[in-house]
């Protein structure tokens, strides 16, 4: 699973998701089903797909979403906790408005407002829950991002080469002088048709002017 | 199958939390109720006039969000009948985009004031989107959790 570049997409997705979910006013868009977290996950998945040379699976989407979400969750926890504590009165006021039909509940929130310990504890719970929610929705964003941007799954898979292919060249190939080899290739340096299909499968050989075997199976 | 069942249980638990907020409020467990309400405030505006009511109090999230979550559970329930749980692929992406369009239109025209969306329109478009989204989210979650389960069980088996 280390064949993909996880770090950069996870970092960028996590920063988008975390900072935009934590900055006041900007984080207002999160009321749309945690929109910034979705966007962070989708961006991370898009970057991962763009950098991958193989098909990115749904599992990879969940994984990049999780990595981004962990970064975003940490950012949200760090930024949101002091902010929540600072804005607790406003949050409690909104709760009082929601609970307008219950004077008993309203008086409970007023009591929290007057108790600093309870207020701190409450703000930590809220910040923690927020960071977990951002993490969860970033994972979902990663999954949807792969579903949206990974287009290669509709194409046939590339040909699979066996581990021993292409066969290694003999140690003395090309021979220094070919005295009697009528059936041997006429000239090792004679270029065959350049094979464009996945040259990375061919290990680079030292002094390898004769590395290209023609691109077809031998024998 | 265990992973799928766990995912279903988690989704139902999530929906239960949405319902638990007003229920706990009605039962006078104010602190627990407030923690859930405030937790969900990070992902929803929770406007009382746009929320379904339960036990006399607004649910933890608005009607659109609640419908999307409910739709997700419906999609998850339908999933094994329509697709193989072991399949690690997605349906074509145009289905997801098509399912999101009604929600986007309903939301946008409401914001622009072209016409006022209703509880019915929010619920219908939300359920549609949630149901379809489940088919794109489930494969990745199931295969990832499956891998973790196998990785977790392997050392035990080795030991």
pLDDT at res. B53: 94
Cis-peptide into B132, omega within 30 deg:
no
CB contact under 8 A, B143 and A130: no
Nearest CA in chain B to A124: B35
A32 falls within a domain: yes
pLDDT at res. B22: 93
With contacts defined as CB-CB under 8 Å, which chain A residues touch B63? none
A145 falls within a domain: yes
Within an 8 Å CB–CB cutoff, is residue B80 touching chain A?
A: no
Q: What is the pTM of this model?
A: 0.74
B19 Rama sector, left if φ>0, alpha if ψ -120 to 50, beta otherwise = alpha
| Cα(A10)–Cα(A48) distance, integer angstroms | 8
CB contact under 8 A, A105 and B25: yes
Give the pLDDT of chain A (219 residues) as one tens digit per residue. Answer: 567 889 999 999 999 999 998 888 888 888 888 889 999 999 999 999 998 888 898 889 999 999 999 999 999 999 988 888 887 887 787 777 767 777 887 888 888 888 888 888 888 888 888 899 999 999 999 999 998 898 876 666 566 666 677 777 777 776 666 555 454 444 444 444 444 444 444 444 444 333 344 333 333
CB contact under 8 A, A129 and B89: no
Backbone angles phi, psi at B53, to 5 degrees: -110, 145
* ipTM confidence score: 0.83
Output the six-digit token pair for A148. Answer: 């949206």
Within an 8 Å CB–CB cutoff, is residue A169 touching chain B?
A: no
Place of tokens 């975390």: A18
Q: How many domains does chain A have?
A: 1
Domain boundaries, chain B: 2-158
Question: Can you list the alpha helix ranges (DSSP code H) found in chain A?
Answer: 7-22, 35-51, 58-86, 88-98, 103-114, 116-149
Within an 8 Å CB–CB cutoff, is residue B96 touching chain A?
A: yes
A164 falls within a domain: no
pLDDT at res. B1: 78
What would the DSSP string read from start to end of A91-124? HHHHHHHHTTT-HHHHHHHHHHHH-HHHHHHHHH
Q: Which of A53, A74, A67 minimizes the C-alpha distance to A8?
A: A67
Output the six-digit token pair for B100. Answer: 């999101």
* A32, B122 contact by CB (below 8 A): no
Mean pLDDT by 10 residues, chain B (159 residues): 88 95 90 85 87 92 94 95 85 91 91 87 95 92 83 70
A215 falls within a domain: no
Within an 8 Å CB–CB cutoff, is residue B133 touching chain A?
A: yes
The angle at the Cα of A12, spanning B148 to A53, to the nearest 5 degrees, equals 65
A55 falls within a domain: yes
* Integer CA distances (angstroms), B95 to A43, A46, B92, in order: 20, 19, 6
pLDDT at res. A195: 45
pLDDT at res. B61: 93
CA–CA min distance B84, chain A (Å): 14
A162 falls within a domain: no
**Partner residue facing B136 (CB), from A34, A97, A143:** A143
The residue range of the domain holding A109 is: 7-152
Nearest CA in chain A to B58: A98
pLDDT at res. A154: 60
What would the DSSP string read from start to end of B122-144? HHHHHHHHHHHHHHHHHHHHHHH
CB contact under 8 A, A33 and B30: no
A61 falls within a domain: yes
A177 falls within a domain: no
pLDDT at res. A2: 62
């Amino acid at each position: 699973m280390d064949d993909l570049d996880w770090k950069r997409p996870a970092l960028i997705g996590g920063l988008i998701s975390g900072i935009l979910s934590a900055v006041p006013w900007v984080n207002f868009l999160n009321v749309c089903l945690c929109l910034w977290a979705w966007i962070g996950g989708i961006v991370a998945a898009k970057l991962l797909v763009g950098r991958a040379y193989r098909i990115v699976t749904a599992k990879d989407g969940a994984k990049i979403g999780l990595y981004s979400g962990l970064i975003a969750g940490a950012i949200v926890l760090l930024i949101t906790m002091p902010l929540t504590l600072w804005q607790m009165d406003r949050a409690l006021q909104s709760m009082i408005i929601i609970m307008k039909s219950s004077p008993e509940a309203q008086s409970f929130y007023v009591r929290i407002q007057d108790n600093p310990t309870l207020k701190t504890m409450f703000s930590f719970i809220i910040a923690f829950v927020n960071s977990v929610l951002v993490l969860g929705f970033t994972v979902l964003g990663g999954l949807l991002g792969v579903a949206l941007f990974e287009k290669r799954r509709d194409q046939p898979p590339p040909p699979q080469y066996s581990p021993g292919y292409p066969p290694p060249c003999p140690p003395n190939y090309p021979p220094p002088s070919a005295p009697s080899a009528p059936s041997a290739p006429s000239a090792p340096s004679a270029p065959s048709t350049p094979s464009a299909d996945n040259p990375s499968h061919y290990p680079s050989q030292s002094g390898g002017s004769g590395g290209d075997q023609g691109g077809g199976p031998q024998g | 199958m265990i992973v799928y069942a766990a995912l279903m249980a988690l989704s139902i638990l999530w929906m239960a939390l949405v319902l638990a907020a007003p229920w706990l409020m009605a039962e006078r467990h104010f602190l627990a109720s407030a923690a859930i309400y405030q937790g969900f405030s990070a992902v929803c505006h929770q406007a009382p006039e746009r929320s379904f009511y339960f036990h006399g109090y607004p649910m933890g999230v608005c009607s659109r969000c609640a419908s999307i979550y409910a739709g997700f559970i419906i999609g998850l329930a339908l999933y094994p009948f329509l697709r193989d749980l072991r399949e690690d692929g997605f349906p074509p992406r145009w289905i997801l985009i098509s399912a999101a369009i009604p929600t986007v239109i309903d939301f946008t025209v409401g914001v622009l004031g072209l016409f006022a969306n209703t509880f019915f329109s929010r619920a219908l478009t939300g359920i549609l989107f949630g149901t379809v989204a489940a088919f794109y989210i489930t494969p990745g979650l199931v295969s990832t959790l499956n891998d973790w389960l196998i990785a977790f069980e392997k050392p035990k088996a080795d030991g």
